[in-house]
Chains A and B, each alone.
Chain A
């Protein structure tokens, strides 16, 4: 199997920092996606990590450790509009497909 595990729900405060973790199975793994999905809308692409390390893109950063099968999405200076589900997804080149996690529903409180 190619299970993707991430927390179901998280809550954070406006202006704060939150880290959403994701673990995946490493066999055949090529890269790790993060998507943002607001309720009732389509997922939008946030990041794709292939190499180990942290990649920063404005208020959002994504980290990958290939040897540990672990990634996280870091959101800084949280805004109310960041309330959404965040989907972790792993690309397996051996199967030529992306496997999606169930998503982490992030709620931001004032």
Chain B
């Protein structure tokens, strides 16, 4: 089945620790996105990539990093510089000349 997968579903981070969230898609989409959602809030764009080996900062990129070495994969690292990382993280992709973004199931990050 074609789709977007994210892992893990839940992730716990200790103080000062970097953690990496996985996002994989087999839709052959060129563009991929990372969003953060806080309770009762809309989605805020962290980073996006429109093509392999290229990515741009979104509205809240500080404390995060990404890579896009393969078309299918767009991992997000939450660094220790992100002081308030507890949130629901959503990965999305779009392609075929369409603006519509399709979302993975999300990863909920909690700080211990």
Contacts and interface: CB of A to CB of B under 8 A. Distances in A.
> Are these two chains actual partners, yes or no?
yes
A54 interface: no
Interface in A33-75: 33, 40-45, 48
Given A42-B104, A42-B106, A98 B42 contact: no
B99 A30 contact: yes
Interface of A: 4, 8, 30-31, 33, 40-45, 48, 87, 89, 91, 96-98, 100-103
A30 B29 CA distance: 21
7 contacts: A31-B99, A42-B106, A48-B99, A97-B48, A98-B45, A102-B40, A103-B42
B99 A101 contact: no
A87 B103 CA distance: 13
A45 B105 contact: no
Interface residues of B, number: 21
Contacts of B45: 97-98
Interface in B65-112: 88, 90, 99-106, 108
Contacts of B58: 97
A41 B45 CA distance: 18
